Each structure stands twice: as C-alpha cells, then as structure tokens.
C-alpha cells in the first residue's frame, strides 16, 4: 500500500473519531437542560469510549499530563460510563468536599456484588445504611476519642520495634504484623501474637482476594455486568468460581472475630473494644449485621494503607539521610536517649509532624482516592457533569503540583515548617474529601506518629549495601495499584546504639 494511502486512511480514521466524539458531546448537550458542554477530555471511540487511552497502572500520571492539555476537569466516556477526573484541590474540594450528591460509590460487580463487599463501609451506596455505619464508627474513631487507644498503640509499637531489632530485613512483614495486631485489638479485643494467627491469616487472604479483582481490567464482569448471570460451569466463567471463593473468605473474615466477641460477651469476659461496645449499645434489628460489616471494612481499610505509608517511610529515610538526622536530633533534644518517645512528646516535636505530612504527600497511598458516584446531574465552572458519573480526584497530581510543592520529588518536611506556614496540608486531601472521608484518619495519624517517632529514636536507616560494600540505590518506581506501594526494596536498619537496643528489650520484657 502506498505511503500516501496509509496517511489518507489514518487521517480519515482520525476525522471519523473526532466527528463521532463531537456528536457524542452534542448529544450530552441536548440531554442537559442548561445546555452546558461536558468538560474537555480525550477523544472517545465509538462503543468503547476512551478505554484504550487508560493504562492499567498509575493512571494518575496520565491524568496529570492531560491536565496540562484539558485543564482541571477532564471528562471521559469509558464504554457506556461517564468518568470525570478532578485535577485541582479547588475542584476536588468544591465538588467531592462540599456537595452531598458526590457521596455515593459506584456499583462494583466483582468485588461488591459477587464477592460480597458491597455492604462494606467503603463500597456501600450513600444512604441510610451508610449513615448508620458512620454513626456507629464516629464515637470510637473521632479526633476527640482516639487517645483511648494510646496504651495499646504503645504496647504494639514496642513489639514492632523488637521485631525490627530481631529481623530488620523483614521490616515490611513487621509493619504488616504491627498493623494487624493493632486493628484486631482495637476492633475485637483479639490479641494477635504472630503472623500465623488464624484471624490474621483469614483477613490477609480475604484482602488478597479482594485486591486481585479491583485493578481496572482485572474482571471483565466489571465492564460487562450482564456476565454475572453466566453460571460457573460455563467455559470462561472462571470469575464465578473466583468470586465464590472470595465471597466465602470475606464472610469468614467478617464472621469469625465477631463470633469470638459474642462468645466472650456471653461468658462475661469480653475485653473492652469497638465490637463489644457497638454490640452493647446498638440493639436495633440488624445491628449485628451492620457491626460485622463495619468490623471487616475497618480491618480491610486499615491494613494496606498503613503498611504502604510506613514502608515509604523507610524508603524516604534511606534516601534522605539529612532529614533523618534532623528528626533524630529533635527527638534526642525533646525525649533524650533514656526512654522511648510517647504521645505526650508529640506537641514538642514539630519537625516530626512536618515529616508525617511530607510522607503522606511524597508517596500518596491512594493516588486517585476511592471513586465517588454522582447521584444527580451537576454543573460546575460552565460544564455539565452527568448523573451517574464516576468522579475521582487526582490526589497524586495535587501532591506533585510544583506551584504548591516546589521540587515535589524531594522529601522535604521543611516545606511545612513554621507557625504561619500555609502550604496546602496533605492531611486535607490524602484521606479523601467530604462525607466519604476516611473513617480511620485520626487513628491512622496517631499510629503513624508513634511508629515513626519510635523507629527514629532507636534505629538508623540507610541504603542497603552490595557484596562490595557499595550502596544499592532503591528503585523509586511504585506498584501503580489503587492502593499504591513502593516496589520491594532493601535497606539497612540498625540500632542507633546499644542503649537504644536495650531500651527496646527492656520495654518488651516489661510489657509481656
């Protein structure tokens, strides 16, 4: 085929796409009463829309590039679904933050309907049941009451420090165990000893099965919901068997710890914890079912988020030793070296507070948050946003905005220093916005503080060495998933002194 023919065909195809896209946009204009245009966005192909544009991983990087072309609000059609990406904190605040019509969640066929997570706090539709959930969670997790968990956090963190001391190379497993211990204790009063604990194994398995089906493209039934009616025996319907397995594990994960709490209550020996209190205080019909879903949701939501953030902490410390030194000298000055840090030291450690903000910004855990569903047609900045749209904030894009955070790849707590500092606080967007804001953010904040300050007080973190004693540069790319983790990396974690190691050993002996 002659080169000119190929060019002509290509130009013809582009012209056809553009014509179809314009037609689609015109149709949208007709269907909205104010006659406003949809926000700008990439050209949609007939039937499949923009799906070919969308990467399976790290979509936020593309959205950020697109924001330079299309602006703060991007519209896409993905098959028959509307999708809107908000690239600025203003748009995210104005819409997700302030308007209740953005508080719903999308229906998720695989994870939600088939695997049974649709009644979790995170995925449930906005409505009475969600409100009931949040009313039960609030008295146990609001900013004024999370101090009640401090002594449990202190105990679990001491065990974690000891794990780091004994097996520094397994630091990610130690973070995971620490996070499981904490959430199982706080939610159910279950004292987890090790990673083989039956409740932990069950929970890890359920979350693993859930995480496998969530990435875009992982389950075709998400794109073609009619597939859910196909029986499991039909060739190619392997997703039904996977869904059944996932549903069973999720059910066991939710049932087993609550059954334990109920037994303890019946015996009169229940430990004070979220579930005990919630069961005693909520006696309406169906309360137990609600509490079961809340327990499983909080455990699932707490795990990977905490693990990802604290793993990134080790990465940041290995890469930016000057930050580590400054943080350690602040701790030495305030706490000294004769005891472990406590919650009481917190207000005297402003650099540590800035370090935590920078950690949340530098490696955002949920780079596009969790999608919100719009329940009514809406209008914003001269654009029409159709009812039913999946609306996401490009949280990663906001965190990397050079006009707000100069040299954004650099880990620099200094950018938040000073009493009059008005740099956009990552706490105001990395935990979500509006009604669906993270239900565990105050608890998470306290957990991050105690972990970070305790590790910095007792350990030095540096890059791993190869067999020639040369430093190994950690790979800076991340996994690119919905809950984003750094790719596995090695680092050296060594006690700052014999005295620091002894502090840990003494504290463990004291607690056991």
- Spell out, one character per residue from 282 to 321, where the chain touches ligand HEM: x when CB under 6 A holds, - when not: ---------------xx--xx--xx--x------------
Shortest reach from residue 469's CB to ligand HEM, in Å? 35
Shortest reach from residue 167's CB to ligand HEM, in Å? 24
When asked if residue 444 is in the footprint of ligand HEM (CB under 6 A), the reply is yes
Residue 290, C-beta contacts closer than 8 angstroms, at least 6 positions apart? 129, 132, 133, 136, 282
When asked if residue 438 is in the footprint of ligand HEM (CB under 6 A), the reply is yes
For residue 311, with 0-12 CB atoms within 10 Å meaning exposed, 13-18 middle and 19 or more buried, which class applies?
Answer: buried
Closest CA to 301 of 153, 148, 123: 123
Nearer to ligand HEM, 70 or 102 (CB): 102
Nearer to ligand HEM, 309 or 400 (CB): 309
When asked if residue 178 is in the footprint of ligand HEM (CB under 6 A), the reply is no
Closest CA to 276 of 186, 162, 156: 186
Closest CA to 92 of 378, 377, 360, 394: 394
- Spell out, one character per residue from 110 to 129, where the chain touches ligand HEM: x when CB under 6 A holds, - when not: -----------xx-------
When asked if residue 463 is in the footprint of ligand HEM (CB under 6 A), the reply is no
End-to-end CA distance of the chain: 79
Question: Contact 390/81 with Cβ under 8 angstroms?
Answer: yes
When asked if residue 335 is in the footprint of ligand HEM (CB under 6 A), the reply is no
354 is an annotated ligand-binding site residue: no
Q: Give, for 492, the enclosing helix (H) or strand (E).
A: strand 491-495
What are 399's two structure tokens?
């965190």
For residues 314-333, which are near ligand HEM according to CB under 6 A? Answer: none
When asked if residue 433 is in the footprint of ligand HEM (CB under 6 A), the reply is yes
When asked if residue 437 is in the footprint of ligand HEM (CB under 6 A), the reply is yes
Nearer to ligand HEM, 153 or 328 (CB): 153
For residue 466, with 0-12 CB atoms within 10 Å meaning exposed, 13-18 middle and 19 or more buried, which class applies?
Answer: exposed
Shortest reach from residue 358's CB to ligand HEM, in Å? 13
Shortest reach from residue 304's CB to ligand HEM, in Å? 9
Q: How far is CA 307 from the centre of its chain?
A: 10
When asked if residue 485 is in the footprint of ligand HEM (CB under 6 A), the reply is no
Which residue's structure tokens are 């279950």? 190
- As annotated, the binding site includes 438
Residues that bind ligand HEM (CB under 6 A): 121-122, 297-298, 301-302, 305-306, 309, 365-366, 369-370, 430-433, 436-440, 443-444
């Amino acid at each position: 085929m002659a080169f000119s023919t190929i060019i002509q065909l290509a130009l013809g195809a582009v012209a056809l796409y553009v014509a179809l896209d314009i037609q689609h946009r015109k149709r949208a204009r007709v269907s909205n009463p104010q006659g406003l245009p949809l926000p700008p966005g990439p050209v949609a192909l007939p039937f499949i829309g923009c799906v070919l544009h969308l990467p399976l991983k790290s979509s936020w990087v593309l959205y950020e590039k697109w924001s330079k072309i299309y602006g703060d609000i991007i519209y896409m059609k993905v098959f028959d679904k509307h999708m809107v990406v908000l690239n600025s904190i203003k748009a995210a605040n104005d819409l997700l933050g302030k308007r209740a019509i953005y508080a719903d969640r999308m229906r998720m066929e695989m994870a939600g309907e088939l695997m049974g997570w649709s009644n979790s706090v995170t995925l449930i539709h906005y409505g009475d049941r969600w409100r009931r959930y949040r009313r039960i969670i609030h008295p146990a997790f609001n900013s004024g009451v999370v101090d009640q968990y401090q002594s449990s956090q202190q105990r679990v963190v001491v065990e974690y420090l000891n794990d780091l001391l004994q097996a520094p190379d397994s630091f990610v497993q130690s973070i995971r165990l620490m996070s499981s211990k904490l959430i199982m204790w706080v939610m159910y009063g279950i004292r987890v000893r090790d990673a083989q604990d039956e409740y932990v194994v069950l929970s890890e398995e359920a979350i693993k099965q859930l995480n496998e089906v969530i990435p875009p493209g992982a389950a075709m039934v998400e794109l073609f919901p009619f597939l859910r009616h196909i029986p499991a025996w039909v060739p190619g319907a392997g997703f039904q068997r996977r869904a059944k397995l996932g549903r069973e594990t999720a059910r066991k994960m939710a049932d087993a710890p609550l059954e334990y709490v109920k037994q303890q209550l019946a015996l009169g020996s229940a430990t004070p914890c979220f579930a005990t209190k919630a069961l005693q205080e909520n006696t309406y019909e169906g309360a137990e079912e609600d509490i079961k879903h809340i327990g499983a949701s909080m455990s699932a939501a707490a795990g990977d988020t905490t693990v990802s953030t604290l793993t990134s902490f080790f990465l940041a410390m290995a890469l930016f030793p000057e930050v580590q030194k400054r943080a350690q000298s602040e701790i030495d000055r305030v706490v000294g070296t004769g005891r472990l840090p406590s919650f009481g030291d917190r207000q005297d450690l402003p650099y540590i507070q800035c370090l935590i903000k920078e950690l949340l910004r530098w490696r955002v855990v949920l780079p596009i948050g969790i999608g919100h569903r719009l329940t009514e047609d809406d209008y914003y900045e001269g654009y029409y946003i159709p009812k039913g749209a999946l609306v996401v904030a490009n949280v990663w894009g906001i965190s990397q905005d050079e006009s707000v955070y100069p040299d954004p790849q650099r880990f620099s707590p200094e950018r938040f220093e000073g009493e009059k500092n008005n740099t956009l606080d990552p706490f105001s967007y990395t935990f979500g916005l509006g009604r669906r804001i993270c239900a565990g953010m105050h608890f998470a904040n306290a957990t991050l503080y105690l972990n970070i300050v305790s590790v910095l007080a007792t350990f030095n973190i540096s890059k791993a060495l190869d067999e020639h004693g040369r430093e190994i540069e950690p790979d800076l790319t991340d996994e690119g998933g919905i809950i984003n983790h750094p790719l596995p990396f090695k680092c050296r974690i060594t006690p700052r002194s014999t005295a620091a190691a002894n502090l840990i050993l003494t504290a463990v002996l004291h607690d056991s």
